[in-house]
Every structure is written in structure tokens, then in C-alpha cells.
Amino acid sequence: MIAGTKRSTEVDMEVGRRIDLGMSQTDLAAAIGVTFQQVQKYEKGANRLGAGRLSQIASALDMPVASFFVEAPRQRVRGADMSAADLLSRPHVLDLLKAFSQLQSVPLRLSVVKLVQALNDKP
């Protein structure tokens, strides 16, 4: 391991400041399997948050991971630049995503994706 690679960065501190608790630190800690002191360290940016832990926190707080960042990363969506936050703010996208995520069958998920893509390709 390279010395100093585990130090908090400005991004870590900003993400920590953006943890807007909808529950107590103790409840959040229990939900993600850490101590409340660890949650405090995340909030202060004293400890880094890995992607997996950030995903757990977002899930526990029922919010998108992108909301922790000042500006969501840009992604290419069908030839147009659109951030994940922009995409999720469009009408019915969250409803579709929630329903899609509840599908257990991988072949069914792929069929739904192909159906939506086919509908999008038609005039």
C-alpha cells in the first residue's frame, strides 16, 4: 500500500457534509453495520467512504447516490449529455426504475430493456 492513500480528500469531506440524516446516527449506523462514531467520522469527512458504503447509506436514507455529489457525473444517454440526476428527474423515470428493479428474472429484465429500446427506435 502506498503511504497516504487512505487520507480524506475534499470530495470525501463534501460527501460527508451532504449526508442529510433522515434518522439518528445510531439508526443509520445500525442500518449499514457500523458504529454511530463511524457515521460521525463519515459526516465530518474524517474517514473516507467507499462506493459500497456510500451505496448502503443512500439506500438506508432512501436517496440516490448522486445526491451526495455537488454535480452528478455526466453520462452519455442516446447521444445527448445528461447527468444521472437530470435523467432521474424526468417524468416517470423513477417509477419505471422502481418497477424494473423489482423484476427478479434476468431474462425478463433484458426483454423489458429490449422492448423500451425498440419503442424508442420507432417514429
- What is the pLDDT, as a whole number, of residue 48? 82
Q: Domain check: are 24 and 62 in the same one?
A: yes
Identify whether 60 is part of a domain: yes
Q: Domain check: are 52 and 14 in the same one?
A: yes
Q: What is the pLDDT of residues 13-69, one digit of tens each?
A: 666 666 666 678 888 889 889 998 998 888 877 888 888 888 888 888 777 777 776
Total domain count, the chain: 2
Identify whether 79 is part of a domain: no
Domain housing 42: 10-68
Q: Domain check: are 54 and 14 in the same one?
A: yes
Q: Domain check: are 54 and 98 in the same one?
A: no
Q: What CATH number should be reported for the domain holding residue 46?
A: 1.10.260.40
Annotate the chain with three-state secondary structure. CCCCCCCCCHHHHHHHHCCCCCCCHHHHHHHHCCCHHHHHHHHHCCCCCCHHHHHHHHHHCCCCHHHHCCCCCEEEECCEEEEHHHHHCCCCHHHHHHHHHCCCCHHHHHHHHHHHHHHHHCC
Phi and psi at residue 3, in whole multiples of 5°? -60, 135
Q: Domain check: are 64 and 107 in the same one?
A: no
Identify whether 85 is part of a domain: no
Q: Domain check: are 54 and 96 in the same one?
A: no
> Is-above-0.75 flag for pTM?
no
